[in-house]
């Protein structure tokens, strides 16, 4: 049984929307919204079997800046596949089958790895049915072709909310580092399942620089390949028209972008993070080499520049 989520959507989204609409650098804390799951739990196999066997397609670039208009053809609606996953905005829960599969994979993985009382997943915003620019209260420049998703962070009570967990360079204790790290690494590892060539299908993941710094402090010298891949893909800045811009809007949610699905020939990727430059010219270099390119140095540099008295 589904219930109306419109009030929950507004509560969850108030932080994101405030930022998008006004350009403020920080969200109003919304408190911890308790999220209850609905519907019957199905197995992963049952969920994946629900995805229609129709060739859907992402067209153009996720941010509308490609050579073709951004569209989403024969979209899959997440709430039709798994109604135990909370979708905050019912009309913005359409994606490519790659994106919907990833969310189902990650949700199931977290269900197994996080304590039972934790909400497996809350999705704030995917794309419109058919894609294209999202206007109105949930306006954004991306999310235009079914390859983007926004999720709230896991809080200290192990639920997900839309509260800001960052003040300046400080990540608040309300941000559950362990649960969020499990979430971020799951997004990366599960994205391999979307491709027949075993590559990571995640193009990048946006978080605030304070969150990246917090994770760098803990993991930057951990040589586990998944750790380094995840740090590499967590990006606190993006390439705007006039150069690199540090995010202001990801203190309360993570935004992900998938690579164009294999076979979607009208889909265009944005650049993503730099690829690893291995000494022998290959892309699959050792984790200890990748440590140099996990993005932690640039965040430290920014931190040092912005708060010199603290070093």
Min. distance of Cβ 162 from Zn ion in angstroms?
A: 13
Smaller CB separation from Zn ion, 47 or 256:
256
Q: In the bound complex, which residue of the shown chain has the CB atom lying closest to Zn ion?
A: 255
Min. distance of Cβ 140 from Zn ion in angstroms?
A: 6
Size of the site for Zn ion (CB under 5 A): 2
Smaller CB separation from Zn ion, 182 or 255:
255
Interface with Zn ion in residues 129-168 (CB under 5 A) = 150
CB burial string 131-144: b at 16+ within 10 A, e below? bbebeeebebebbb
Nearest CA to 154 among 105, 194, 207, 98?
207
Stretch binding Zn ion (CB under 5 A), from 70-78, 82-90, 109-117, 251-259: 251-259
Dig out the tokens for 153 from the structure: 């962070």
Min. distance of Cβ 128 from Zn ion in angstroms?
A: 13
Stretch binding Zn ion (CB under 5 A), from 61-69, 252-260, 264-272, 302-310: 252-260
| Interface with Zn ion, residue 255, by CB under 5 A | yes
Stretch binding Zn ion (CB under 5 A), from 110-118, 174-182, 190-198, 248-256: 248-256
Residues near Zn ion (CB under 5 A) are: 150, 255
């Amino acid at each position: 049984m589904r219930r109306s989520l419109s009030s929950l959507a507004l509560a969850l989204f108030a932080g994101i929307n405030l930022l998008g609409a006004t350009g403020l650098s920080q969200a109003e804390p919304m408190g911890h919204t308790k999220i209850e799951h609905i519907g019957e739990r199905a197995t992963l196999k049952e969920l994946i079997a629900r995805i229609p066997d129709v060739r859907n397609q992402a067209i153009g670039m996720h941010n509308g800046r490609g050579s073709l208009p951004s569209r989403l053809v024969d979209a899959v609606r997440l709430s039709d596949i798994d109604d135990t996953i909370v979708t905050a905005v019912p009309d913005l829960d359409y994606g490519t089958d790659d994106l919907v599969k990833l969310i189902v994979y990650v949700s199931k993985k977290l269900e197994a790895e996080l304590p039972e009382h934790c909400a497996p997943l809350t999705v704030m915003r995917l794309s419109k049915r058919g894609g294209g620019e999202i206007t109105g209260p949930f306006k954004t420049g991306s999310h235009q072709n079914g390859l983007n998703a926004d999720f709230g962070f896991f809080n200290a009570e192990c639920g997900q909310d839309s509260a800001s967990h960052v003040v300046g360079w400080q990540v608040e204790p309300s941000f559950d580092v362990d649960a969020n790290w499990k979430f971020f690494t799951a997004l990366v590892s599960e994205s391999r399942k979307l491709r027949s060539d075993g590559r990571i299908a995640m193009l990048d993941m946006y978080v605030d620089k304070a969150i990246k710094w917090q994770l760098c402090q803990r993991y930057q010298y951990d040589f586990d390949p998944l750790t380094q891949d995840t740090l590499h893909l967590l990006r606190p800045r993006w390439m705007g028209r006039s150069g690199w811009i540090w995010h202001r809007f990801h203190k309360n949610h993570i935004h992900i972008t998938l690579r164009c699905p294999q076979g979607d020939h009208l889909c265009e990727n944005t650049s993503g993070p730099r690829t690893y430059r291995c000494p022998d010219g290959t892309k699959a270099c050792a984790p200890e080499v990748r440590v140099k390119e996990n993005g932690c140095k640039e965040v430290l540099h920014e931190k040092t520049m912005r708060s010199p008295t603290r070093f």
